[in-house]
Amino acid sequence: MSTVRTRFAPSPTGYMHIGGMRTALFNWLWARHNGGKFILRIDDTDRERNVEEALGPILNAFRWLGLDWDEGPEVGGDFGPYFQSERNDLYTEAIEKLLAEGKAYRCYEKPEVIKADREQADKEKRPYINIRRSLELSEEEIKALEDAGANHVIRLLVPRDQKIEINDSVRGHVEWDCSLITDPVIMRTNGTPLYNFATVIDDAQMQISHVIRAEEHLSNTPVQVLVYQALGYDQPIFAHIPYVAAPGSKEKLSKRKLDKYKKNPKFKKMFEKAEQVFPLIGLDGVEGLDPVMVEYYEKIGYLPVAVLNSLSRLGWSLDDKTEIMSLETVKENFTLDRVVKNPAGLDPDKLFSFQSHWMNELSPEAKLEGCLPYLVKARIVGDPISDQQKDLLEKIIEALGDRIKLFSDILDSRLFFQDDITYDEKAFKKRVAKNGVPELLKEFHNKLASLEDWTVEKLEEELKQFSEEKEKSPGLLIHSLRVCTTGQPVGPGVYDCLVLVGKEKTLERIDSSLLRIESA
RNA sequence: GGCCCCAUCGUCUAGUCAGGCCUAGGACACCGGACUUUCGCUCCGAUAACGGGGGUUCGAAUCCCCCUGGGGUCACCA
């Protein structure tokens, strides 16, 4: 069998859609699984904007996830150019050929006429098929039109008596009746090709063996197959994978529905996390940093392996039980026949649980490396970080253990680096400002003041002993102390908290907490 | 509306092509419990699905038909 060659052809839009990323991933997986090639081709036809700038985030997303490409921007290849805007000769050549063979024709129909035809068809409740008036034109009439400066487009002449069939690797046999297909425009008045035409020329010339793309392209397929046939090209194998849907729905995930997603109970948390984290690290209001885009996950501190794991399981499964998979595992086992047919909703909860798993696999050093940039960007530590701060950070990360799910979670521990803390009022009321607790704290404060060994073991021993003497539940002090010294109801174990805060500040903060209650 | 696709727990899915091994398995979420006299973690447990109707068959989640529902797409966008 010949080499497997797959491609992903993004438009340089300035961001990378998570659903598009999943499509790219499946292409990458299939190529890699077969020892084939994965190609990146840039769909930059009629785009005015700065392509380089708009392409950056897309290539970054690939790099971040570790999906490499064998041919395309930056790496070149034997089938270039890899930017559609530079491939115009190829398209023109193909058009000339079709025209010469009578498989395509110049259509002089005015848009108004076409619109009227369509309305007429609607009115009569029959499907609209274009009327081939231009085919009836005599040479003189055409010349007259040309002389009068009439515009034309090029349409493919659809053989209306045929059927188009494909054997889709995911969907199986699908067919269309050509008598229902309007002659598609393949070249605009201005001489630029249309997607359905250009993509076929490109795929054929680049010898793409498998066209793996989202299901929304299924309805484009018959037109493309017609182009393959007209040009005498071999058809690739098509695989229409389901699109990625919004959480808990069957609707295609779309960047245009962000406002709706913010109210989606499953999606909500992700937006909230963004609101909490991004302002702290100077990314407030930056566009494209929402959970529809890959960049969000990078910037908020997800692990590539977790995102990849999650994306792989969206519309594909290895077997009846395997959930946790590295890219390597997925690559080894990925086949098209195990791709599911129905659309899969992105599941933030499940992604989070994958993240949680992979984060726990990380060494303390790797965690530190991932967390550090957040503290630096939020100006909580110096740049570069001082040895003393780094030492403290190491201890914090150790104490936090598996409480760190996202790298940005480290920001919740910023109080250990700061002199002033903010109290979670609700927690303060619940755990500190309640009957008996202030008195208990006051006494325990004295006890702590005389404590020489400020260690986790010693503190635990002391607290338990004290509670026993007072015949109180240790939980009372445990909870109140955490809130007093960190301001938060969650965080490392209390004894760790006390050690991290240090004796001096611990005593200080107990004092000021007691003052807070009195003055309230 | 035309064309096309899809249909198993709340969600992601296994099982469907080769009908019995399925009183439908796993994971996430949720709920309960154990541990830690601590938020978290971990561990146990519970709840929870074959959209409906007809066939075919000894036997149907699985094959066929119809219905219903959901979705995609209908550009001189990609």
Q: Which nucleotide is nearest to A219 (CA to C1')?
A: B73
Q: Are A465 and A476 in contact (CB under 8 A)?
A: no
A345 touches strand B (CB under 7 A): yes
Check residue A1 and give its pLDDT.
53
Res A244: pLDDT? 96
Protein CA A18 to sugar C1' B52 (Å): 36
Nucleic acid strand B within 7 Å of A492 CB:
yes
Residues of chain A with pLDDT under 50: none
Å separating the CA of residue A175 from the C1' of nucleotide B60: 28
State the catalytic residues of A.
Answer: 255
Scan residues 244-263 of chain A and list those with Cβ within 7 Å of strand B: 245, 247-252
The pLDDT value given to residue A47? 60
Residue A313 CA distance to nucleotide B11 C1' (Å): 12
Strand B atom within 7 Å of A195 CB: yes
Give strand letter and number of the nucleotide nearest A155 (CA to C1'): B76
pLDDT for A227? 97
Predicted pLDDT at A48: 61
Q: Which two tokens stand for residue A175?
A: 């067919």
At which residue do the structure tokens 């059927």 appear?
A163
Residue A237 CA, nucleotide B56 C1', distance (Å)? 34
Chain segment A165-185, per-residue pLDDT in tens: 999 999 999 999 999 999 999
CA of A341 to C1' of B20 (A): 26
Closest CA to A132 of A155, A164, A148: A155
How far apart CA A317 and CA A330 sit, in angstroms, is: 9
Beta carbons within 8 Å of A392's beta carbon, 6+ residues apart:
A416, A417, A500
pTM above threshold 0.90? yes
In chain A, positions 70-89 with C-beta closer than 7 Å to nucleic chain B are: 84
A191 strand B contact, CB < 7 Å? no
Determine if strand B comes within 7 Å of the CB of A220.
yes
What is A170-222 written as a DSSP string? TTEEEEEEGGG----EEE-TTSPBPHHHHHHHHHHHTT-SEEEEEGGGGGGHH
pLDDT of residue A259: 92
Beta sheet of A104-107, edge-to-edge order? A104-107, A153-156, A185-187
Protein-covered nucleotides of chain B (CB closer than 7 Å) are 1-8, 10-15, 25-29, 37-42, 70-78
The reply to whether A127 Cβ lies less than 7 angstroms from strand B is: yes
Report if CB A217 to strand B is under 7 Å. yes
Query: Does residue A203 lie within 7 Å of nucleic acid chain B, judged by its CB?
Result: no
Give the pLDDT of residue A467. Answer: 87
Question: How many Å does it take to go from CA A161 to C1' B56?
Answer: 35
In window 2-31 of A, residues with CB < 7 A from nucleic chain B are 9, 11
Q: Is the CB of A145 under 7 A from strand B?
A: no
Q: What is the pLDDT of residue A282?
A: 94
Please report the pLDDT score of residue A427 as a whole number. 86
In this prediction, residue A345 carries a pLDDT of 95
State residue A476's pLDDT score: 85
3-state helix, strand, coil split of chain A in percent (to 5) is 55, 10, 35
Q: What's the pLDDT score for residue A378?
A: 95
CA A63 from centre of chain = 13
